[in-house]
Structure 1
């Protein structure tokens, strides 16, 4: 039986190729397709396919741990170490099935308190580092997260477009806004495309084009400032960088719609001001705003970029200082640890601040909006006039605070009698000028008289002699129309005038 069975198996195996060959000859149009090759980690049981697919998709899920190459500032390293320790304790507890929730809660409370203390006492240099953090939300990040819909617009109607300036129309809670802002990149490639957030002249002309569009159709304007400054290359200067910025400054004061500006990172020089002449200027808690970068200021004043720390403190570029001096109007709070650590918590704060400000201008007329913007910039600036010996202004302020001083006739305080007299002279000059402008009684630029005419009575004699000559010419013309005037009379007039 075993022999017969084996022979049968052999014969069947030998017959199989012949049967396949006959099937191929009988039906040449039919192709036999091989079964698809599955990945080596594909489960063989049908029931385990869902679990296998879940393991594959889990590789593309949200990042749970901070990447190793994520930028960490020097003062943030203790916070990062404490966060890692908390994660390690939680992981060990889960693996061993131990309940350490009380210990983890205590560590999280310490981490929160340490983060709060660290960010509450940041120096100006450290706030500048936070404002320049590469993970800080950019203009497009904010726009796409605070708007219901957004459509980006391009071009300056002169054949050019600047990726460093983003413009578009977006709606917030159903209200349409024109949104304009500086856009930086996330990596080297994008930064090169966006020119590190430094616009060219065509970028500012692009922004102005859409500002005029918003003014025509009554769209409120929101600008997001985040630039180290306008691009100062040779090509930009040839295309009229200064003229483009100046035109923006002039035109923004004539717009009839409310303008709200938000400094989200760096606000550098005229590059920021070209889209920052607004009715209300907001600044994020860890953002900065300056007339020149601390590095450039140090190179100019201290002749060395190594003094950038001193320049940062002297420039008063932090949000608290800017609101104190009236340059900015309101601070937009950031989540604990900065906007770069929790962007999703920062977006609602920005949105709420913008809507609160807009509600004040939504009921104003066009003329009131323009006057409000004009009055804001007219009252900017705080200064003190006094002589400082050797540039030691701290000592001078201390001396002024220690002295009892005196008062002017109107009751204004002054450190010395000489200063009080100087203040009174300035006030008198201002009052005289205002009276002159109101009445228009005198020449603003009084004409200069020829020498000699200022003597008493000389002008009266000259006028009387001219009138006498005219009368004689008229009388002579009636008798002899062509007869000239007497030479003696002319001579007398000339002598008198001389």
Structure 2
């Protein structure tokens, strides 16, 4: 009952008023609507008394608020009674569309569909086939994009401005809802909403972080970053639910607890720790649903539960990827790499057994169809609560304790082979050893040189594996540099352009995009000490390419020489080879054969120059003089070779002149 008092005081006699320190007064309130006037005596500090001061207090009329619901509500009635008692009202305005960076190719394709439809309406022509083809391409591109999202892309969807808030989901899944306020310690934090609602006739306590739907609401809600008052408010409602036996459903959607000086002075850490300790002792089922992003202890303070469910594009992390990148890599541009290393997605949490289930979202995110997403949340809540309500209080506490005991657990005493064995310092774990690379290059060089053909299966497999490793390293480098989204966008535009006009080369704007991406990639790659593994693999592949090129050139040169050298010269070369074999066996070679060998070498050099081949150098071996008999034969053979070479050269000259 709201009561307003009207109070008047004055001097009713010749004596002056004497209200001083140490006086007392008795006031009779009129609670029945009658005028009650009583004289009041005031005691002066020096012992004198004065009369004549009268105080009148009268209660004004007040309005009684009826209970918002009748005793018996027909469940089939959809109107005629108050369903939701809350200041929050569903938005009647359609939110402004917001395009994420990786969605721009889809928006371009959607604009083309709208343009074709507009042309069909203006001209009256039938473009149904073209529209159907474009719509099929759009649906396929949408499916391909949202089924292969990177962690940083899922985080951007979780932070989407139009993503439905906690109260949006509560209004969609409950039949009745009463919002409860205040922490009974001086403040009502708007960043956390609490209340009691019913789902299929069963009452639940709802607690969640509330973001705003526009800038004004975000400022009022402090961007869903609670102060200690908010966590104490949630704690009060948890104790209330535990006392009355209401199951607790919490919704997590916050970047973290508010980290200002006043919050720290009011005990932010103590409030979070108190919530964590208390939630492990509550004897009612607790289900937590991560609808957006869950930031560190600010999210965990209402998420110590029996079952944790996450929306498909939600994220839960100990530190935001931007903060992690700034700490580890000293640059926020490494946020995509940090998001991948932090394992923040719902899929990774489910694999690590932190999350107990994943709630599906429509293609494009929960903001595309909030009502459908809310119904999926409702089904998940009903199924999970059916399982938890079958447990008694002790089983619930034991189940909650074991859930967090199993996270990050390991068993001692069991030898486990590491995935990679490395004999190096921990700080150099990502730096390959130079000796290993040199050894691998030597082995690869031997395989290439020893192979009889260019398609040796062993060398081909090794080169193919090296290319695959290099492709993976380049992909990882693009992700860590934050260029993966730009690259995917360019790929999508290229595929779209090739499908529309197969024979037309890419336009100038697309080429500029590709050049810009490559310049940024090369600039980041050129930084000292960065991407050492990628640089060494590139050097290795370039060296292998040079080896293969040299081998192909030598084979080609050998074939050309064999075609141009006459058969007679080949026979004389065989005689020289036989003489060399005799010399290697230690047999004597005469002087004439040695002279003939030298002449043959010189003639061979002249012949190679005549056919356009450059002589880099001629090596001269120090050999013992041949015996006289062999020397005569060598001289004779060299003379015949010289005559044959001269005959061939003269024949070529006469052929050119003719």
CA distance in 1, matches of 2:428, 2:345: 23
Task: Report the counterpart of residue 221 of structure 1 in structure 2.
Answer: 248
Of 184-193 and 195-204, more deviation after overlay is shown by: 184-193
Task: Report the counterpart of residue 281 of structure 1 in structure 2.
Answer: 308
CA distance in 2, matches of 1:342, 1:106: 24
Q: CA RMSD in A?
A: 2.4
Task: Report the counterpart of residue 151 of structure 1 in structure 2.
Answer: 178
Q: Deviations over 1:2-50 (max 9, x none)?
A: xxxxxxxxxxxxxxxxxxxxxxxxxxxxxxxxxxxxxxxxxxxxxxxxx
CA distance in 2, matches of 1:373, 1:385: 32
Task: Report the counterpart of residue 340 of structure 1 in structure 2.
Answer: 367
Question: Which consecutive unaligned segments of at least 5 residues does structure 2 have?
Answer: 1-90, 411-415, 437-658
CA distance in 2, matches of 1:223, 1:61: 26
Alignment of 1:180-329 (within 5 A): 180-329=207-356
CA distance in 1, matches of 2:335, 2:107: 27
CA distance in 2, matches of 1:174, 1:97: 54
- Contact 1:208–1:248 (8 Å) recurs in 2: yes
Q: CA deviation at 1:188?
A: 2.0
Q: CA deviation at 1:128?
A: 1.2
- Specify whether residues 345 and 80 from structure 1 end up closer, same or farther in structure 2 by C-alpha distance, changes over 3 A only: farther
Task: Report the counterpart of residue 137 of structure 2 in structure 1.
Answer: 110
The two structures have a TM-score, normalised by structure 2, of 0.48
For 1:389, which of 425, 429, 436 is the aligned residue? 425
Q: 2:115 aligned with 1:88, yes or no? A: yes
- Contact 1:148–1:172 (8 Å) recurs in 2: yes
SS state of the match for residue 262, structure 1?
Answer: strand
Q: CA deviation at 1:107?
A: 2.5
- Contact 1:325–1:382 (8 Å) recurs in 2: no
Task: Report the counterpart of residue 475 of structure 1 in structure 2.
Answer: none
CA distance in 2, matches of 1:91, 1:150: 45
Q: Deviations over 1:38-89 (max 9, x none)?
A: xxxxxxxxxxxxxxxxxxxxxx9976xx85xx32111111112222222333
Of 78-87 and 332-341, more deviation after overlay is shown by: 78-87
Q: CA deviation at 1:335?
A: 0.3
CA distance in 2, matches of 1:83, 1:214: 49
CA distance in 1, matches of 2:105, 2:331: 31
The structure showing larger relative contact order (alpha-carbon pairs under 8 Å, at least 6 residues apart) is 1
Q: Deviations over 1:167-205 (max 9, x none)?
A: 011111211111110011122221111111100000000
Q: CA deviation at 1:101?
A: 4.0
CA distance in 2, matches of 1:332, 1:246: 29
Question: Which consecutive unaligned segments of at least 5 residues does structure 1 have?
Answer: 1-59, 400-498
Q: Deviations over 1:377-428 (max 9, x none)?
A: 11111568979833566799xx9xxxxxxxxxxxxxxxxxxxxxxxxxxxxx
SS state of the match for residue 162, structure 2?
Answer: coil
- Specify whether residues 393 and 150 from structure 1 end up closer, same or farther in structure 2 by C-alpha distance, changes over 3 A only: farther
- Specify whether residues 148 and 102 from structure 1 end up closer, same or farther in structure 2 by C-alpha distance, changes over 3 A only: farther
The two structures have a TM-score, normalised by structure 1, of 0.63
Q: CA deviation at 1:238?
A: 0.5
CA distance in 2, matches of 1:393, 1:174: 58
Alignment of 1:369-448 (within 5 A): 369-381=396-408, 389-391=425-427
- Contact 1:198–1:228 (8 Å) recurs in 2: yes
- Contact 1:200–1:230 (8 Å) recurs in 2: yes
CA distance in 2, matches of 1:91, 1:172: 45
- Specify whether residues 173 and 108 from structure 1 end up closer, same or farther in structure 2 by C-alpha distance, changes over 3 A only: farther
Of 312-321 and 344-353, more deviation after overlay is shown by: 344-353
- Specify whether residues 337 and 394 from structure 1 end up closer, same or farther in structure 2 by C-alpha distance, changes over 3 A only: farther
Q: CA deviation at 1:158?
A: 1.0
- Specify whether residues 393 and 354 from structure 1 end up closer, same or farther in structure 2 by C-alpha distance, changes over 3 A only: farther
CA distance in 2, matches of 1:389, 1:291: 28
Q: CA deviation at 1:100?
A: 4.1
Aligned length: 334
Q: Deviations over 1:72-119 (max 9, x none)?
A: 111111112222222333344345444544443332222111111001
- Contact 1:163–1:194 (8 Å) recurs in 2: yes
Alignment of 1:445-464 (within 5 A): none
Q: CA deviation at 1:312?
A: 1.2
- Contact 1:326–1:381 (8 Å) recurs in 2: no
- Contact 1:327–1:381 (8 Å) recurs in 2: no
- Specify whether residues 395 and 121 from structure 1 end up closer, same or farther in structure 2 by C-alpha distance, changes over 3 A only: farther
Q: CA deviation at 1:337?
A: 1.1
SS state of the match for residue 166, structure 1?
Answer: strand
Q: CA deviation at 1:328?
A: 0.9
SS state of the match for residue 340, structure 1?
Answer: helix
- Specify whether residues 203 and 333 from structure 1 end up closer, same or farther in structure 2 by C-alpha distance, changes over 3 A only: same
Q: 2:395 aligned with 1:368, yes or no? A: yes
CA distance in 1, matches of 2:329, 2:253: 26
Task: Report the counterpart of residue 191 of structure 2 in structure 1.
Answer: 164
Q: Deviations over 1:122-158 (max 9, x none)?
A: 1111111111111111111111111111111100011
Task: Report the counterpart of residue 378 of structure 2 in structure 1.
Answer: 351
Of 79-88 and 136-145, more deviation after overlay is shown by: 79-88
